[in-house]
Amino acid sequence: MINHPKIKMKFYKTIFISLLLVFVSCHKTIEETTNKPKTFNKDELALLAIARKVIDSAYFATVITTNDKGEAKARIMEPFEPEKDFSIYLATNPKTRKLKELKQNNSMTLHYFDRDNPGYVTLIGKAQVVQDSLTKVKYFKKGWEAFYANRTDAYTLIKFIPKELELISIRDKKTGRKTDWKPEIVHFY
């Protein structure tokens, strides 16, 4: 045991700094891994391609958020096509309930159902409100002028960032596990 006060203090200081450095480096590593784009394997890329077909055929999506009582709230929306990384932009009025709900809990689910070629895609992830005016101009559909007369104050853009994708597509023989009907799943990070 160390009995000298100065050596004892130096010892504990060294231990503290070492632990702090380990914590900081681990934290940085976790943060970096979740921000890096995932490299998908061949099977995952095939599932993502099928998912894009289902999303394109479905066109509309059910957007699900959670209110302050913990209740799931769903509504139909017209999202933009998924980006390369499967992030998806959606437009809304800034006074909607969904924005209030997303400020309290940014977890969001998008569900696309393709009735004509039975199948669905469910995306689970997080949403963020986009303030950048150039991005808001880029993501505006022709014909929306009737809904958003003032694009500065009456038009809000949401960016959805997926964590996980679930897929069923009868046309593509992706029907889920026979035992429990678990769909095909792709993790984005």
Predicted pLDDT at 20: 40
Predicted pLDDT at 151: 77
Predicted pLDDT at 33: 40
Q: Please say whether the beta carbons of 50 and 167 come within 8 A.
A: yes
Predicted pLDDT at 145: 85
pTM of this structure: 0.78
Residue ranges of the chain with per-residue pLDDT less than 50: 16, 18-34
Predicted pLDDT at 174: 96
Predicted pLDDT at 76: 97
Predicted pLDDT at 178: 92
Predicted pLDDT at 38: 85
Instruction: Locate 22 and state its tokens.
Output: 């380990």
Q: What is the maximal distance between C-alpha atoms in the chain?
A: 80
Name the pairing type of β-strands 184-187 and 107-114. Answer: unpaired
Instruction: Locate 112 and state its tokens.
Output: 């696309």
